[in-house]
Amino acid sequence: MCRVDEEPEPSGTGGDADMDVAFTTLLEDSIEELYESAPCGYLSTLMDGTIAKINTTLLNLLGLTREAVVGRKRFTDLLTVGGKLYHETHFAPLLRMQGELRGIALEMKTAGGGRLPVLVSSLVKHGSEGEPLLIRTTVFDASDRRAYEEELLRRRQDAEQARAEAERARAEAEEARRQAEADRARLADALAVLQQSLVPTSLPDVPGLETAVYYHTASADRLGGDFYDLFPLDGKRWAFFLGDVCGKGPQAASLTSLTRYTLRAAALHDPEPAAALTTLNAVLHERYAAGGDPRYCTCVFGIVEPATELGHTTVRLASGGHPPALVLRADGRADFLPAPGGLLIGILPTAPIGTAETTLAPGETLLLYTDGLTEARTGPDRGNLYGEDALLAFAADRAPATPQETITALTGLLKSFGDGLDDDTALLALGVPATHPSLPPATNNPR
């Protein structure tokens, strides 16, 4: 009976008693049973390797019977060919020298013809006089470890293969990049040569007239559509034109080539500017629009007859939908020279052509340009167009200026646009040289 404030003891034996029972049960295992049922294989051999004793665990691992092994087989008979060779050349000599070896990986044969990967540790037992009596060996099943190692090896091989494939892919990508760059360079060279064939390599020298030109190609990968030319008509007059065809690439190049040669031929037949553009309009409309593939261009065509002596030069212009020419005057002014009423060349069978005429005094320059200049995008967000008003103010700030000075200033302006200049731009400037101061009259030699 317990006291009121005490809890009753639980029924059954106490914790210490249970522990004693467990130890007693363990102690009831015989040494022989512990040997036979050990979690690893045991065997003892004579010094020549004859098996004298082997436990049940190892027999079960190999699928053998005790009668077939004890006294009938040697330890090496349980090994595979490779394991036997390693035992004879390494294991046995080291064991004789050292008397002990631990954790040696070998392979043993099973009764079914399979292979069992094992880890072997052996110890030589010596007599009282130090003479070797027998060899005691433990054998651990290393199948799981071998499978784990093989899995690690496979994963490493897979990783190395993946790394090699990645390296090969990187090398192929690098080679493809170099090839693409080489192809792009060859294409750029070819396009540059073709582009140069669409415009004069240089402007001819015109007596009594100064000239300058600049051509900006927006992309090295595409042919531009802007064009210009200056060529003689006869001994006194010179024709010039500047324009912009629709589109980019090979089709634009084809249209540019047709336009240039048509204007040259038309000028030789009838040098009047309006007549030349009228002929061009008829050719383009018949070639493209009539076939359902309309293509067009804007163009300014002009005739100039430089004065034989320094003086005023008359310029007659015709325009088909092109931005107006700009004149930088000798007195510091800048004026547009519009040719109103002109329509895009090639759209209609008969297109109205706008005409204009001006006189250039000494020190004055006529500038022709394509819309890549006035449509350059400006501002922090590139949301505004440069425009004709800004161009007029730019020219007025620099007038008077020679053709070369004008082109040089505009080239700097174009570069200042950066990536806002995304269209081809052609500039052509013609000017009358400024009058040079007259030399003092020569004195007569005394007689």
217-271 residue pLDDT tens? 877 666 668 899 999 998 789 999 999 998 877 788 888 889 999 999 999 999 8
- Residue 286 reports pLDDT greater than 60: yes
State pLDDT tens for residues 138-166: 999 988 887 887 788 889 999 999 999 98
Mean pLDDT of 80-95: 93
d(CA 129, CA 366): 124
For the chain, how big is the Rg over CA atoms in Å? 52
The Cα 259–Cα 322 span in angstroms is: 15
C-alpha span between 301 and 242 (Å, rounded): 7
Highest mean pLDDT (candidates 189-193, 411-415, 418-422) = 411-415
- pLDDT for the residue 221: 65
Output the pLDDT for position 102: 94
Average pLDDT over the chain, rounded to an integer? 87
Catalogue the E-assigned strands of 321-376: 325-328, 334-337, 354-360, 365-369
> Length of the chain, please?
447
Question: Residue 101 pLDDT more than 80?
Answer: yes
Q: Which of 218, 246, 403 is nearest to 313 (CA)?
A: 403
What was the pLDDT predicted at 440?
42
Q: How would you list the strands of the sheet with 365-369, edge to edge? A: 210-216, 425-431, 365-369, 325-328, 334-337
**417-432 confidence digits (pLDDT tens):** 998 998 899 999 999 9
Q: Residue 394: which residues within 8 A CB-CB, separation 6 or more?
A: 409, 410, 413
Report which of residues 437 and 324 the model is more confident about.
324
> Which single residue is written with the structure tokens 């294991």?
91
Q: Identify which of 170, 111, 108 has the alpha carbon closest to the alpha carbon of residue 143.
A: 108
Q: Which residue has the higher pLDDT, 225 or 280?
A: 280
Cβ atoms of 135 and 107 closer than 8 Å: no
Q: Please report the pLDDT score of residue 447 as a whole number.
A: 34
pLDDT in tens, 318-372: 999 999 999 999 999 999 999 988 899 999 999 899 999 999 999 999 999 999 9
Whether 7 has a pLDDT exceeding 70, the answer reads no
By C-alpha distance, which of 255, 212, 234 is closest to 429? Answer: 212
Give the whole-number percent of the chain exceeding pLDDT 90.
Answer: 64
- pLDDT category at 379 given cuts 50, 70, 90 is confident
Q: Which residue has the higher pLDDT, 53 or 248?
A: 53
* Residue scoring higher pLDDT (2 or 373): 373
Does residue 402 register a pLDDT over 90? yes
pLDDT at 153: 87
Q: Which of 405, 395, 394 is nearest to 434 (CA)?
A: 405
